[in-house]
Structure 1
C-alpha cells in the first residue's frame, strides 16, 4: 500500500461527523482491510507507523506529554486525515490542541493487528520499518540525543 492509498482509505472510512478519537473510523478501517488481502493490512501498518514516526519530534511533543499520551495524540492527528496531518507535520504548533485537549485515537493503533488476526487466525508479531513508539525517531529528538 502506498501513501496515497493509505490516506484514501482513511478518507473513505471516515464518518461524516467529527470522530476525533477514531471510535467509528477504527472499526470501519478494520472492516475495509478484511475485504482485501493480508498484504493490504501489512501495507496499512507500514504507512501508519511511518506517519506516526514522522510526527515523533520534540517540536510536536513539548515536555508535557507522557510517551503514551503523545502516541495516542499523534494517532488522532492521523485519524483527522491527510490535510490535517500535513498541516501539523509542517507546523508543529498545530499539534497543541491534540495535546492540550487530550484527543486520543488509540484505537487506530490496533486496526492492523485486528485485521491480521481476523484474516489469518494468528496473532501478528509485527515489525514495521518505522517504530511508532514515542521518542523512537532519533532525528526528531536532537536534545535527547545530547543528554548523557
Structure 2
C-alpha cells in the first residue's frame, strides 16, 4: 500500500454521518483490511504511523497530555487527507481537534485487529516510525 492508497482507503471508509470517535471508520477499515492480503495491513500500519509521527511536533502538542495528543492526532488522520494537509500547513488548524470532543483512539487499533483476523495471532508490531506522543525528536527540538 502506498500513501495514496492509504488516504484513498481512509476516504472510502469514512461514514456519511458524524463519527466523532472514529469507531465507524475504524470498524469499516478493519473489515476492509481483514478481507485483503496481510501486506495491505502492514502497509496501512506503516502509513498510519508515519502520518501520526509527522504531526508529533511541539507546535501541535505543547499543552496536551500524551494520550490526548495521540488521540487528537489520530482524529486529524481520521478526518482525511485534505484536513490532514491543512493541519500540516497551519498549526492553528489543529486547535479544533484538540478540544477533546473529537478523538480517534479506535483508529490506532485497526492494523492490530485486521492482523489478528487474518492470522489468528496478536501482532507484536513495530513500525518504522513510532506514533507515540513525543517520539519525533526533531519535532520537539528547541527552535
Task: Tell whether the structures are fold-level matches, with TM greater than 0.5.
Answer: yes
TM-score (norm 2): 0.96
> Aligned residues, how many?
143
Root-mean-square deviation (CA, aligned residues, Å) is 1.1
Aligned to 2:132: 133
Secondary structure in structure 2 of the residue aligned to 1:104: coil
Q: Quick one: distance in 2 between partners of 1:139 and 1:14?
A: 31
Structure 1: 5+ residue stretches without partners: none
- Alpha-carbon offset, residue 98 of structure 1: 1.1
Q: Quick one: distance in 1 between partners of 2:102 and 2:35?
A: 29
Alignment of 1:3-22 (within 5 A): 3-22=3-22
Runs of 4+ in 1 over 3 A off after TM superposition: none
- Tell me: CA distance 1:73–1:123, structure 2 relative to 1, closer, same or farther (3 Å): same
Secondary structure in structure 2 of the residue aligned to 1:95: helix
- Alpha-carbon offset, residue 11 of structure 1: 0.5
Aligned pair 1:75/2:74, yes or no? yes
Structure 2: 5+ residue stretches without partners: none
